[in-house]
Amino acid sequence: MSGDIDDKPQPLIEHLIELRTRLIWALGAFFVAFLVCFYFAKPLFNLLVVPYKWAVVWAGLDVTKAELIYTAPQEFFFTQVKVAAFGAMVIAFPVIASQVYKFVAPGLYKNERAAFLPFLIASPVLFLIGASLVYFFFTPMVMWFFLAMQQSPGEGEVAISLLPKVSEYLSLIMTLVFSFGLVFQLPVITTLLVRVGILESQWLADKRKYFIVVAFIVAAVLTPPDPLSQIGLALPTILLYEVAIYAARLVERNRAKAESAEVVETETE
């Protein structure tokens, strides 16, 4: 195993030069992606508004009258900047992740590098699954919940209509995307911790009841103050925790098999 890693001490300046190179590549990828996304900021924002249109249809309203507003001259401009930054992070993430891996890979053994690579693939895939769940289901559901609170004019009642601001709508959907995206990283994080020996599957199983409480607390903090989105985040989190326990047991089982094979091979020799 000693041949899998370079044990020679490296001067600090070489590590700093390597870090600078990786940062330049990562920031360069983000900057290029940001410029492209900013050029297409309006179409991208219109794409993010599609779930709101679905919610309008679900509420039985005229979709042609669905509109968003901005109340400050600079509000929509900065909203487009946020959309561009959001899109740039998504597009540039593979490059950023690869640069992080290239920086830490020389300090890992060959088997550690082999174990680390699958998580680089699983992490963005799980994030996209969580983001897709937000886009196609939870955002329309949350907006439908808010639209249902509108009031039509009548005897003794005034008209109360929802006119979302572009910045607030973007903040809502970005909060939901990042919340679900991070929650969907739970199996990846726990499996990594089990691989390095920090956690055990039995410990995760024993702490299940505490995690359920924490899941609802975190969902209440990360999501808008409505029960639908809070429950909608808490339930997948609990389900993913069960997936994490199962993945941890698989890791421990494979480790036990590998250790048994090594013992048999040693005894044979």
pLDDT in tens, 182-218: 888 888 888 877 877 777 888 888 888 888 998 888 8
Region at 161 (left for phi over 0; alpha for psi -120 to 50; beta for the rest): beta
pLDDT > 80? residue 6: no
The residues, any chain, with a CB within 8 Å of residue 155's CB and separated by 6 or more, are: none
Could you say which DSSP state residue 5 is in?
A: S
Question: 21-35, 127-141, 220-234: which range is least confident on average?
Answer: 220-234
Residues of the chain with pLDDT > 70: what percent?
88
The model's confidence at residue 9, banded by pLDDT at 50, 70 and 90, is low
pLDDT of amino acid 141 = 86
Could you say which DSSP state residue 78 is in?
A: H
Q: Using a cut of 0.85, tell me whether the model's pTM lies above it.
A: no
pLDDT > 70? residue 265: no
Could you say which DSSP state residue 63 is in?
A: G
pLDDT of amino acid 104 = 80
pLDDT > 50? residue 2: no
pLDDT tens track for 132-151: 988 998 888 888 888 888 88
43-63 mean pLDDT: 90
pLDDT > 80? residue 28: yes
The alpha carbons of the chain give a radius of gyration, in whole angstroms, of: 24
User: CA-CA distance, 260 to 255, in Å (whole number)?
Assistant: 9
Q: Where are the beta strands (DSSP E) in the chain?
A: none
The model's confidence at residue 3, banded by pLDDT at 50, 70 and 90, is very low
User: Residue 86: how many CB atoms within 10 A of its CB?
Assistant: 21
The residues, any chain, with a CB within 8 Å of residue 228's CB and separated by 6 or more, are: 141, 142, 145
Q: Which two structure tokens, joined as six digits, stand for 107? A: 């300090």
Could you say which DSSP state residue 161 is in?
A: -
Beta bridge partners of 145: none
159-168 mean pLDDT: 88
The model's confidence at residue 78, banded by pLDDT at 50, 70 and 90, is very high
pLDDT tens track for 91-100: 998 888 888 8
Residue of 126, 245, 121 whose CA lies nearest to 193: 245
pLDDT of amino acid 18 = 85
pLDDT of amino acid 1 = 44
